[in-house]
Amino acid sequence: MRCTSEIDVRDVDESCINIDPIQVGGRLTADAMKAVIAYGDGYSVCDHCRKPFRLDFIQKPPIQQFHKELAAFVNMDEARVVPGARRGFQAVAGTYVQKGDPVLITALSHYTEVLAVENNGGIIREIPADDGKTITTDSAAETIETVSREFCRPPVLLFLDHFDYQYGNEHDVRGIIRVARQHDIPVVYNGAYTVGIMEVDGKGLGADFVVGSGHKSMAAPAPSGMLAATTERAAEVFRTTEARTDLTGRTFGIKEVEMMGCTLMGVTLVGMMASFPHVRERVKHWDEHLSRGRKVVESLERIVGTRIQSEMPRNHTLTRVDTIQSFDKVANTHKKKGFFFSSELKARGIAGIIPGATKVWKFNTYGLSAAQSDYLAETFLGIAEKYGLDIQ
């Protein structure tokens, strides 16, 4: 089946249970798909853009109201939509980081935080993870002290992932933010794996900024995301242009410098908006998704030799698993090598695990129904049984 002569239809989620670690929270709702159908054209949300000609002032569709609701959703004062969480990091780094400034991230931070700092000439320092691959308050406090001594001043910014992309482990954001505030370090709460799937209270945590990913966790098309800030920080990161061109003397109203003017001007924004009522509701049911994920993890643990590398019990549906002593042993003698596992999964209607991976791999069960998560758990056990692996 093809969309065009050269582009295949993408039907992975219609045909399979998709457990791709980065895709599941970004799957569109039915309402988002419908909005995408109607608003696919380029500047589709701009039909009713009037003075002062800025995206977050548009009232039809209700984009202005959506911005207010987005800020409230994460308990912050102001919010803007951005083309992905990374553009939120970039905006904050562009505001606070100068060449040679020390900036803290963690040993499990996403690479786009590094790029955002590098782009402004900042110097990265990482807070180390402990043996369990979590970032502790003590570790953060120690690193802040060390970096402050090294640079004779505190770091200018701290990027902090609530749950990291490598293990899906939870880090002590509340404690770490408290320590950062004692040193007057602004904190960017990276909610790429939380905002849109579980409740987030930005000001309650003490964060200066909350960044969310539309396409990762808010059932929105890519690239989309949000950057929310406290009133104080909003005045800085959402500052408006003061430029006047020399020859023509042109000025540019209230366009925001870090946003590069308007951000999501069509299908990405309207998809995000259409999903939002469902997203706001689904965060209240995070425990159900977590419980289903834990059942799948339990079934994997029953396969002798399999080790869950993520923290246990699981506090997130993204999990990293080591199957070197189970499925990888099968791969060593199988004619398809590591591809036997993905082939077996595909034959049973499971997609999203990197083809060929049998040593260490990640999966995410978010969004599966109870029947689908049960099926997935049975599928892992069924493959193990087929290849003679011991099951406890």
Partner 1 sequence: MSKRAVDTVFEALFTLTDIRMMLRDTAPQHRLDDDEKEAADAMLRSLEGNIRTLREELIG
Q: Site residues (CB under 8 A) for partner 1?
A: 13-17, 27, 30, 33-34, 37-38, 348-350, 369, 372, 375
Q: Closer to partner 1 by CB, 17 or 318: give it.
A: 17
> Could you count the other beta carbons within 10 Å of the beta carbon of residue 34?
14
CB of 111 to partner 1, least distance (A): 30
CB of 244 to partner 1, least distance (A): 45
User: How many Å apart are CA 240 and CA 253, to the nearest integer?
Assistant: 8
CB of 45 to partner 1, least distance (A): 17
CB of 217 to partner 1, least distance (A): 18
Q: Give all strands (DSSP E) within the chain, no chain letters.
A: 17-18, 78-82, 102-106, 123-127, 157-161, 187-190, 209-213, 225-229, 307-308, 318-322, 350-351, 360-364
CB of 369 to partner 1, least distance (A): 6
Classify the C-alpha dihedral 366-370-374-376 as positive or negative.
Answer: negative
CB of 34 to partner 1, least distance (A): 5
Q: Closer to partner 1 by CB, 27 or 178: give it.
A: 27
Q: Closer to partner 1 by CB, 29 or 310: give it.
A: 29
Q: Closer to partner 1 by CB, 190 or 365: give it.
A: 365
Whether residue 186 has a cis bond before it, omega within 30° of 0: no
CB of 30 to partner 1, least distance (A): 4
User: How many alpha carbons fall within 13 Å on the CB side of residue 356?
Assistant: 0
Q: Closer to partner 1 by CB, 219 or 290: give it.
A: 219
Q: Closer to partner 1 by CB, 37 or 247: give it.
A: 37
User: How many Å apart are CA 336 and CA 249, to the nearest integer?
Assistant: 67
Helix (H) or strand (E) segment spanning residue 385: helix 370-386
CB of 284 to partner 1, least distance (A): 19
CB of 275 to partner 1, least distance (A): 12
User: How many Å apart are CA 122 and CA 303, to the nearest integer?
Assistant: 46
Q: Which two tokens stand for residue 8?
A: 């295949």
Helix (H) or strand (E) segment spanning residue 114: helix 111-119
CB of 193 to partner 1, least distance (A): 21
Q: Closer to partner 1 by CB, 150 or 288: give it.
A: 288
Q: Which two tokens stand for residue 145?
A: 């002290």
Question: In terms of DSSP bridges, do strands 157-161 and 123-127 run parallel, antiparallel, or are they unpaired?
Answer: unpaired
> Residue 256: which residues within 8 A CB-CB, separation 6 or more?
54, 80, 238, 239, 240, 241
Helix, strand or coil for residue 157? strand
> Could you count the other beta carbons within 10 Å of the beta carbon of residue 130?
11
Question: In terms of DSSP bridges, do strands 78-82 and 102-106 run parallel, antiparallel, or are they unpaired?
Answer: unpaired
Q: Closer to partner 1 by CB, 40 or 313: give it.
A: 40
Q: Closer to partner 1 by CB, 47 or 150: give it.
A: 47
Q: Closer to partner 1 by CB, 17 or 158: give it.
A: 17
Helical segments of 171-266, H only: 173-182, 202-205, 214-217, 231-237
